[in-house]
Structure 1
Amino acid sequence: MGIKGLLGFVQNTCPDTCHMVNLQTLANRHKTSYPGCIPTIVVDAMGCLRKWYTPHDWIHGGQWKEYLCSLQDFIDAFQTAGIRLVFIFDGVIEEKKREEWVKRRLRDKTEISKIFNFIKTRKQQPDRSMFFIPSGIATFTRFALKNLGQEVFCSHVEADYEVASYGLAHNCLGILGEDSDYLIFNTVPYFSINKLILDTLVTLMYSRENLCRHLNLHICDLPLLACLLGNDIIPEHMLRGFQRNCTAQYRSQYSHPNQRTQVIQSVANFISSIRSSPHGINEVKRRLPTWFDSLLLQKGLESYVLPHQTSPWLPTRLLDHGAYAKETDACVCPDKEIVQIVLDDHFKGDNVMICNVLFNGVADCSNTLEDDDDREIPGQALVYKLARQHIYAILFGTGAGSMCSFPVVKEWYIYPENQLLQPDLVEAVPLSVPGGTPSLRDLLLDGGANIQMLRFHTLMACFQVEFCKEELNMLEHSLAATCCLLIYLALKVNTFSLEDIDAFLSHALCLGRKSAEQLKHLQLPIVDSRAVHLAFLYLRGLVTLMGANSACGYPFNMMDILPWNTFDGKLFHQKYLLSHEGSSVGELMKDNETLIPNFKKLKNIIFEECAAQKRTLKSQKRSCGHLPVTVKKRQKIQTWSIDQKQVTTARNH
């Protein structure tokens, strides 16, 4: 994120560039300076997710009820201070930043491997230094904040640009996030989320004016500094030769034991030395390697110039703040009315996945906590591939006579064999529904009496549910979603067993009767790596289901299928351990015995659907390395009873 080492440089080398402030005090001053204007902080939501996830437990798949409480506490603290919050989420990964995105995904893949090695060795959750944020959290958080009454937007371009633009255009109190790019944009003050003390609303504020004073630069020079230090658009490795030359030239003037500090100061000095030249940018290009693409430098500079701003390092004619409108005209899908509807919903944060696919023909997904060494469970990208292909069929049609002539999507998804050298080209696959795959126009705009049934049946078809649609339609949305995903997993993962079904179902039914506080204090004897893998596989399925729900015209209420209504990591883990150790339904549903008939009903629906599709679910207990005393006792009794029968039978013969 942003410029490597810049925030550390600011904090350690020029401390006058940042200082602790009280946000409530600043808000009160803002009210005085701008009567009638509510002090507003625009929040870079993606940069805050790690800070917001305060539950101690994360390895099991996420403690979502606890997380919801954490978000409420965050909102309450600012509301009490009279500060309005506006949350902006990343809505797109721009192709100019794809290389950096790929590097991060491959790096995260290595970290995930270390996490699973730790789990298998220690049978416990790693400490916070290995923390990996739960899958789908950005999507889930967006809907959580909307449900909590907050203003939420998804960006049309990179979120940091829209955050900076929004802050400037709406005279905001500042930006809350953790990205050094906010020191580069010429916008409102930048506050650190990582340094925020929620109880007092005290945090670190950065001053780009003081940074410029320290580096002998103007604010309009900061974008060039960012580009020459390396950022998400211009990889640092392309600039190493240039940076070495700068360091050598200014070593006597700026000697510092920290190499990165020396580089930053030397590059800043170089910029300062050419700033007054009418051909300064040409001098920059002359210093860069001959193979360096000057267009990359131009794109990097443009990425920091906000609407109605200019840059002395760019010809005015090059600035084009209407680029997004032009991209809209070049959208993959030619149905402009549908595109606009989807785009509007996307901006409001109402849909999942479909906007970027419909708009650019691209789908991507960040890392999932899954065990690449467990070959019995395919990667989530492969498990849910067919479901995504069905979604693409809804969005684009399936070829001849379709509403769009481009039924292939470029997918950037992580799975064991994929090094992300290029996107996978994934074709749309028609759905098995009477009358063929419905069009997106019909699903979104048709107001007929039977449209809701068509939407539901289409959603079920995306997940291979063919025979039990009516039974699922009679259930609460949260339970119907759970059964839908379990049917799909049973059909796609050969090792998905009866014990896995029992664990997911018992957990889903018991979840509604558990408070966040009860779940927080739930104790687990061990952490099982396969249970972790299944938990995150399920969560990715939930996100895919939300994408299908968006494409099908929302037959499910999105809020009903979010994880605090459908999933809890620790509760699932508990049920998984019990189920694989042979616990009875009564033990799985302990303290919730009245729900046993519901458990049997849901299990029967799943069994019937799988049987109709010739998938036989089998028992496959797995040793988890722990047996509760009650289960040990019961298993001993069962073994003894069998032995006695065998002995008796032998004697009679």
Structure 2
Amino acid sequence: MGVKGLQYFMESCCPEACLPVDLLQMAATHAKAHHQTTATVVVDGMACLRYWYRCQAWVHGGQWQEYMHFLEEFVGAFTRAGLRLVFFFDGTVEEQKRAEWVKRRLRVNKDIARMFQYIKNHCQQPDRDMFCLPSGLATFSRFALKSLGQEVWCSVREGDYEIAQFALSNNCMAILGNDTDFVIYDTVPYLSIAKLKLESMTTVQFSREKLCNILKLQKSDLPLFACILGNDIVPEHHLQHVRKNALSSYGKKHQGDKVHAVAKLINSLHPNGDGIHGISALPLSKADKEAVEKGIQSYLLPGQMSPWLDSNLQPPEPVCVMKKYINADILQAAKEKHMRAECFISYNVLYDGVVECSNTLEDEEDVELSPQAILYQPIREHIYGVLLSALPDSHDHDHDLSVKEWFVFSGNPLKEPNKVAPKALNIPERTPDLMTLWFGKNSELKSVRVFTFLAVFDLQDFSQDIIHFETPLVTVICLVAYIAVQAKHISLEDIDAYLSQAVCIRYKSYTELQQTKVPEVDPRAVQLGSLFVRGLTYLVAANSACGFPFPMNELMPWKTFDGLLFHSKYLQAHSGCPKEELLEGNPSWTSLFQSLRELVLEVCRRRGFNIVSQPRRVQHAHMHRPRSRHPNRRRYHLAPRWPQYQNPRSDFH
């Protein structure tokens, strides 16, 4: 993220550009200077995810109630300090940054493969150096912060640009993040989330002014400086020859000197009336020159100019490719809800027909469980069918009805998007149009929205049975039934694990969940946990598309899922423990569990699937390492009795 090598350079080579900051003092000074009662900090939400997710358990699918507690602590610290927070999250991936996005996603795939190999070898969670964010963390964090009463925005273009623009135009005190692009933008001060200490409300400011003084650059030179060093628009390898020439020309010996060398190169390119100067003096191909110009342009906020460009045009606004097919009121509503972080996927489908999904914790060697991108595709086809029901029929050759999906999973090289066509819901009448679902006022439309939502999961025939349950349990029924029907190797034990944890979590605090103990980490349980949580994002998308039949906060993982709890229930279920023990000896919990189980199994039976018991042998960390097996051979051996639990936190660092 940001400018290649700049973070290291500022911290290691010019620490005088890294200024210790007391946020209370900074806020008082800022408010007085701008005649404000409250200073505002703009938070780059995407950059803060690793800081916020401090839960020691992370491979199991997410400790969501504990995560909510950490978010509450974060918000509370700023509130007590009298600081207002405004959060921004990326809402789209711009095509000029697609190559860098793909590169990062493929790199994370390799990290995930190493993580699963470690789990198979050691039967425990890896150390923090293999840490991967739980699936859907960015998506759910938006709704989590909104539920805490915070102002949250979702970008419709490059997120860094919108953050820098908002902060500058609203006289904000600072930007809090972890991206050196905020050193390059001519905007408000940039503060480090990585250096933030909540107990003292202190951090470090990476000063662009100090950096410019040290390098003898103007602030207007910084965008070119960033492009030559390498950023998300101009990949590092593209201008490698320019940096090597700079190192050679200025007598620099070491790669660490490249920042000074590039700065001196830029100073030599300043207009001086002696002929060729500027970007044209660089040995660039036409394509590289255009990339550099686009890169410089991407840093220019409204009203700003660059001496390095012949014409200073602002980056183009996003263009709606579906505009001629979709009602203008629908498009405006989709954009507003997207920007206010109230929905998921709708805007991306309706505006440009492109959807992205980042990495999920999936074992590439497990041939029994399909990648989530494939398993949930029928749901997405139905969501697209609801959103694009007003588009022309497929015989209209002037329009491609498919949605372009950039979904990360093992075996997908991400060289091009997969095209997924919308699919009509399996209901007698035509799918209700978006004007009805989104704007209809008739009291009867509540049931229409619910029915349409359930039809996305092919559960419309069970609507009368499902709606009697509270909303969090409705989400569990939809997901578990769908997974049981779509996945080929789901057993009664898997269903029992999903449902028992969904019942038990309703009565546990985050501190109780923290103390949940598992004797080992099972790679299949890791994948099943992530599969469920990723499915919740599609529930959120379906709820958005169908006009919000359910309160969005009731669909969130902190209402339905805890990774450690699920993992413990999975190991218990596959060890053959009695249902009463699985439900912790509580008769009312057991009764609710049986009701959910009967309904899910009835859905499976009517769909032609008879789910059977297939307990799997459980390997423990003190036993020999798992032997490799034929990919199609199932491990259906009875597991040993449930052993004494160990404290999982002792293994985490």
TM-score range, shorter chain: over 0.9
**CA distance in 1: counterparts of 2:30 and 2:433, whole angstroms:** 50
Structure 2, unmatched stretches of 5+, are 623-638, 644-653
For 1:530, the equivalent position in structure 2 comes to 524
Match of 2:454 among 445, 460, 478: 460
For 1:486, the equivalent position in structure 2 comes to 480
Q: Following TM superposition, by how much is the alpha carbon of 1:469 offset from its aligned partner in structure 2, in angstroms?
A: 1.6
**CA distance in 2: counterparts of 1:279 and 1:540, whole angstroms:** 60
What aligned pairs does 1:87-126 form with structure 2 within 5 A after superposition?
87-126=87-126
**CA distance in 2: counterparts of 1:382 and 1:414, whole angstroms:** 10
Q: Secondary structure at the match of 1:105?
A: helix
Q: TM-score, normalised by structure 1?
A: 0.92
Deviations 1:190-238 (A, max 9, x none): 1000011110011111110110111110000000000111100011111
Residue 393 in 1 paired to residue 354 in 2?
no
**Contact 1:396/1:406 (8 A) holds in 2:** no
Q: Following TM superposition, by how much is the alpha carbon of 1:632 offset from its aligned partner in structure 2, in angstroms?
A: 5.4
Residue 304 in 1 paired to residue 299 in 2?
yes
Q: Following TM superposition, by how much is the alpha carbon of 1:406 offset from its aligned partner in structure 2, in angstroms?
A: 4.1
Residue 379 in 1 paired to residue 374 in 2?
no
Question: Could you tell which deviates more after superposition, 462-471 or 193-202?
Answer: 462-471
The 1:338/1:279 distance shift into structure 2, 3 A limit, reads farther
What aligned pairs does 1:317-466 form with structure 2 within 5 A after superposition?
318-320=312-314, 323-324=316-317, 327-328=319-320, 331=323, 333-397=325-389, 400-401=392-393, 406-466=400-460
Q: Which amino acid aligns with 2:370?
A: P
Q: Secondary structure at the match of 2:307?
A: coil
Structure 1, unmatched stretches of 5+, are 636-653
More helix by share: 1
**CA distance in 2: counterparts of 1:634 and 1:315, whole angstroms:** 72
Q: Secondary structure at the match of 1:85?
A: strand
Q: Following TM superposition, by how much is the alpha carbon of 1:596 offset from its aligned partner in structure 2, in angstroms?
A: 1.2
The 1:539/1:131 distance shift into structure 2, 3 A limit, reads same
What aligned pairs does 1:251-290 form with structure 2 within 5 A after superposition?
251=251, 254-255=252-253, 257=254, 259=255, 261-277=256-272, 283-290=278-285
**Contact 2:493/2:570 (8 A) holds in 1:** yes
Q: Following TM superposition, by how much is the alpha carbon of 1:346 offset from its aligned partner in structure 2, in angstroms?
A: 0.5
**CA distance in 1: counterparts of 2:107 and 2:294, whole angstroms:** 25
RMSD: 2.1
**CA distance in 2: counterparts of 1:93 and 1:634, whole angstroms:** 46
The 1:240/1:78 distance shift into structure 2, 3 A limit, reads same
The 1:287/1:34 distance shift into structure 2, 3 A limit, reads closer
For 1:39, the equivalent position in structure 2 comes to 39
**CA distance in 1: counterparts of 2:357 and 2:596, whole angstroms:** 31
Q: Secondary structure at the match of 2:475?
A: helix
Q: Following TM superposition, by how much is the alpha carbon of 1:333 offset from its aligned partner in structure 2, in angstroms?
A: 4.5
What aligned pairs does 1:180-199 form with structure 2 within 5 A after superposition?
180-199=180-199
**CA distance in 1: counterparts of 2:33 and 2:471, whole angstroms:** 49
The 1:586/1:329 distance shift into structure 2, 3 A limit, reads closer
Q: Following TM superposition, by how much is the alpha carbon of 1:436 offset from its aligned partner in structure 2, in angstroms?
A: 2.5
**CA distance in 2: counterparts of 1:109 and 1:98, whole angstroms:** 17
**CA distance in 1: counterparts of 2:433 and 2:353, whole angstroms:** 17
Q: Which amino acid aligns with 1:529?
A: P
The 1:115/1:408 distance shift into structure 2, 3 A limit, reads same
The 1:230/1:36 distance shift into structure 2, 3 A limit, reads closer
**CA distance in 1: counterparts of 2:557 and 2:280, whole angstroms:** 51
After the TM superposition, which parts of structure 1 deviate over 6 Å for at least 4 consecutive aligned residues?
278-281
Q: Percent identity?
A: 42
Q: Following TM superposition, by how much is the alpha carbon of 1:312 offset from its aligned partner in structure 2, in angstroms?
A: 1.1
Deviations 1:407-466 (A, max 9, x none): 211110122221001111111111101212222222112222321112111111111214
**Contact 2:243/2:262 (8 A) holds in 1:** yes
**CA distance in 2: counterparts of 1:155 and 1:281, whole angstroms:** 39
Residue 508 in 1 paired to residue 502 in 2?
yes
Match of 2:599 among 595, 605, 610: 605
For 2:69, the equivalent position in structure 1 comes to 69
Q: Following TM superposition, by how much is the alpha carbon of 1:340 offset from its aligned partner in structure 2, in angstroms?
A: 0.3
**Contact 1:333/1:359 (8 A) holds in 2:** no
**CA distance in 2: counterparts of 1:329 and 1:278, whole angstroms:** 45
The 1:244/1:604 distance shift into structure 2, 3 A limit, reads same
What aligned pairs does 1:43-54 form with structure 2 within 5 A after superposition?
43-54=43-54
**CA distance in 2: counterparts of 1:504 and 1:279, whole angstroms:** 73
Q: Following TM superposition, by how much is the alpha carbon of 1:241 offset from its aligned partner in structure 2, in angstroms?
A: 1.2
**CA distance in 2: counterparts of 1:270 and 1:574, whole angstroms:** 59
**CA distance in 1: counterparts of 2:614 and 2:325, whole angstroms:** 46
For 2:629, the equivalent position in structure 1 comes to none
Deviations 1:296-345 (A, max 9, x none): 222111110011111111234x4135x32x62487474321100001000
Deviations 1:119-159 (A, max 9, x none): 00000011111100111001111001000011100112111
Match of 2:589 among 591, 595, 619: 595
- Count of residues in Structure 1 that have an aligned counterpart in Structure 2: 625
The 1:468/1:26 distance shift into structure 2, 3 A limit, reads same
Q: Secondary structure at the match of 1:501?
A: helix
